[in-house]
């Protein structure tokens, strides 16, 4: 297949390009027709048209990935994710398969866990709201699309809470692993597993929204303990409540039955193995 990957230079994008390496990949890191950083809100529809011309599928990853950053720059996140996705959809040739990588942030604080794809979308961050907007644009356009909602993606050189913990463990001057809150429960999924889910979506025929996660909830405290074991550096784990954000979600675990049935995908890399890698 001929596959365009937008945001190919990012943390997840690099893993996706590796996962699709036996296809004909058109890897694109920045916005077509616009200088500067990868801001798809300023992408020119005509330039996008030349970018998507002749491809069988598009994996759309482009846009700022940080939930924390979205509170400081909500307008930029909305423009890049919503307006940028609208520009891509407008340029997409008929029949091109679109795999849009959204986020579990669209669920906000779910009423029950594990959370299924039909749960209400009630984001509590500007990033999550922007992803909801992008999903709505795709749905309204009626294109052949798969929407993937990854939960906590981690891996080598990744950000998020896993990256925060591992960077502290790698710092020879660190005397403790400091975290704002040890109580929240998350579903951690290795970046290579998420890339495999994206490959399954590219090659499959299913449409609709799918969670991408391990289906297992792990507290931040238990994550830190597992990372300490994996690193072989027994630092104490210290809670810093003054760093907590009001918008933090206490529990978010994926119901993965839908993607297992429709795409034949499931996470293969356990947390301990992933942390060691």
Q: Which residues are catalytic?
A: 127
How many C-beta atoms surround the C-beta of residue 71 within 10 A? 14
Q: Do residues 200 and 264 lie in contact, with contact meaning Cβ atoms separated by under 8 Å?
A: yes
What residues contact 205, with CB distance under 8 A and at least 6 apart? none
Render 40-96 in DSSP notation, one character per residue. GGG--HHHHHHHHTT-SEEEE--S---HHHHHH-HHHHHIIIIIHHHHHHHHPPTT-
The three-state secondary structure class of 168 is helix
What residues contact 172, with CB distance under 8 A and at least 6 apart? none
Residue (of 84, 108, 117, 78) closest to 254 by Cα position = 117
Count H helices and E strands in the chain, helices first: 11, 13
What residues contact 241, with CB distance under 8 A and at least 6 apart? 180, 181
Residue (of 135, 151, 184) closest to 267 by Cα position = 151
Separation between Cα atoms, residue 200 and residue 212, nearest integer Å:
11
Whole-number Cα distances in Å, 217 to 83, 101, 112, 253, 260: 33, 21, 13, 5, 18
Which helix (H) or strand (E) is 26 found in, with range? strand 24-28
């Amino acid at each position: 297949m001929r596959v365009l990957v937008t945001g190919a230079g990012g943390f997840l994008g690099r893993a996706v390009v590796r996962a699709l390496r036996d296809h004909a990949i058109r890897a694109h890191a920045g916005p077509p027709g616009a200088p500067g950083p990868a801001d798809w809100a300023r992408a020119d529809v005509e330039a996008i048209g030349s970018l998507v011309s002749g491809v069988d599928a598009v994996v759309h990853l482009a846009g700022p990935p940080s939930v924390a950053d979205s509170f400081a720059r909500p307008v930029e996140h909305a423009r890049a994710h919503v307006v940028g996705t609208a520009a891509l959809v407008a340029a997409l040739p008929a029949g091109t398969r679109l795999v849009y990588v959204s986020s579990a942030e669209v669920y906000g604080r779910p009423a029950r866990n594990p959370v299924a794809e039909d749960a209400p979308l009630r984001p509590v961050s500007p990033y999550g709201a922007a992803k909801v907007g992008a999903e709505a644009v795709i749905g309204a356009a009626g294109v052949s699309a798969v929407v993937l909602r990854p939960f906590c993606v981690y891996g080598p050189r990744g950000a998020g809470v896993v990256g925060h913990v591992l960077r502290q463990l790698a710092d020879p001057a660190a005397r403790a692993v400091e975290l704002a809150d040890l109580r929240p429960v998350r579903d951690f999924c290795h970046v290579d597993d998420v890339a495999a889910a994206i490959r399954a979506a590219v090659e499959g025929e299913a449409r609709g929204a799918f969670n991408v996660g391990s289906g297992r909830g792990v507290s931040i405290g238990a994550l830190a303990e597992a990372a300490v074991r994996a690193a072989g550096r027994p630092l104490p784990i210290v809670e810093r409540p003054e760093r907590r954000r009001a918008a933090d979600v206490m529990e978010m675990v994926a119901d993965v039955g839908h993607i297992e049935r429709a795409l034949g995908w499931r996470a293969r890399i356990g947390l301990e193995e992933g942390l060691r890698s």
